[in-house]
Structure 1
Amino acid sequence: MRRIAILAEGAFRWHAAKTAVGVIRYSPDTTVAVIDSTHAGMDAAQALQGPVGRGIPVVKDINEALQYQPDTLLIGIAPRGGALPEEWRWQLQTAIEHKLNIVSGLHAFVSDDEQLRSAAASNGVTIWDVRRPPEKARVADFTPHREGSHTILLVGSDCGSGKMSTALDLNAEAQRRGLSSAFLATGQTGMMIANNGLPVDRLISDFAAGLVEEQVLDLSNRHDWVFVEGQGALNHPGYSPVTLSLLHGSMPDAMIFCHKAGQTAIDGYERCLFPSLNRLIEINEDAVSWLRPERRSKVVGISLITNHLNEEDARAAIAQINNETGLPVTDPLRYGVAPLMDALQQHFA
């Protein structure tokens, strides 16, 4: 069990600090402080304007965070470009000098920085670059999963649509029901929470599906339910390749579709408009059927983000999408994932 201080300088907000929020919500480790000088003096829930992070202090810098006796500094946001901002360097250096391990999901590897690597070696601490890919190469060989197991992939309309959190919630709900289940992390935040998984967005494209397949086969041999964290979206102009690798590597038996209520275009690509939700669902189902036409994988429920809406509007959005798609719809944060788990169990009954 780690005692974590999360570095989220200047960006500790619900969407901008997805890694920080995910670790606070789901990690079995204890978050003792969040570093963000722009929200210093608040607790994390006040800064996020929601229910997550009550009682966790937001502090101005690493020196103030050290008062809460962390043993790990975790970088909880992803600056544009994925490099380590120079203005953060002193905070990492100070953390290392105080014997804190470093956990980083940046695209630029902290352990490749000579100054920080030498400091870590001198102080006997570790640097975990979560996105560093395994050296192993494996091409998918289309091996069937164990009969009786159920692999569920989370897909969606965009990045940041709730795929990781819904997978984690479903895994927890399955275990509450006494089912044998596992969560497969495929991104840096999920890996920080689960302490295992694959950084799919850093894998060589020829091997991504194969390495996902290997992990799914291992988990499905040991568990009846496997919830695979999704990445990107098939309709995303930048990140569709990673989504296709997950679809074909995991070969899901069913899918849950994730979406933000009211969103009509890819975030940051305002000209890339969404087709209907039914069409978005269809293209994901079709992509699996290219390889397995005789056993079509279906989307059986929808996870909807409504935290930007009031209660009345949230319920109206859920009802509207239920009417549009004919599928069960819930906001896991507001109402839990029981309707989605019910739909999955009924689908395989």
Structure 2
Amino acid sequence: MKFHDILYTEIKEQGWERILRLKNNEQEENNNLEFKLIYDFKDKGLSSDVKKNFAKSSSAFSNASGGLVIWGIDCRKGKDGIDCVKEIKPITNIRGFFNEMKGEINNVVEPINPGIEHHMVLSDNDSNKGVLVTYIPESDLSPIRAMFRDNRYYIRTGESSQLVPHNMLRQMFAAKQKPKAEIFLKMKSNGTIGGKTGIAVTVGIENTGQTLLKYPAIRIIPKNGLQIDKHRKTGLPIKITGTEGSSLGCFYVGGIDHVVYPNSYLPIIDLENEVEPKILNDEHLDTELFKFKYEIYGEDFSTQEGNISLTISDYIKDTAF
């Protein structure tokens, strides 16, 4: 877990005690943590400064590795010149501030970062006061721009949020316009065969990116005795075959006429197995049905690989109505 993920979990679990430790430890701002001082909130809506800072930080953390903004903390430079916590300054009417900030989540950046959320921590001394913790995860849709006045792009660098340099912004836009291939899996019943229940899993390539995946290819390396019918019809031509347990596996390779459109999938092959009907119940949920390694390739796409283990539990979930 990243630093800000750990800190956010600790704050939610330990509450005000963990907030006080930020002061006791003179916690410094860093690439994933920022502190903001808020003066008393009086139900008059968010000030322009708060909206600007919320938008700027949301853009910066979304375009980097994510982070936390903790509102209601006085942060000033220490002896080493780095901003650190000097005093906890609880926000009056923290519930009103929380509600206003919650309503602003979908307005601060574009594209929207759906992972942004707020957590309110009440003071031990006054339940009407507290601090607000804003969690901002890294976005898969970067570059993300701050939607305030000039609508600029920011990125977190060290202890501050900086404008994204032109060259970096151009690279971020170029990276955004790439396919994103993932393994597609869907299990189904294959009827009854000789008193046994046939089970199949469709294996394919899914494109969750924003552009075409050209020249798609996938290698499937079976494990634990899994057999692949090398003669059945497939979604892509089979180029290489290997025996079970070999590093070759079965390699399905697309040509110029094969593409995977954005937000769609290309089924490649159905893998099959047969089991006794009596084990298809809750007592055998961990029984393994399919096990294999995969490698996915494509033009302008970094190779993705992984290991798959599908059990009776997965089969029941996929076939439940």
What's the TM-score, normalizing by structure 1?
A: 0.24
Greater per-residue helix proportion: 1
From the CA coordinates, give the structure whose radius of gyration is larger.
2
TM-score (norm: length of structure 2):
0.26
Answer 1 or 2: which has greater strand percent: 2
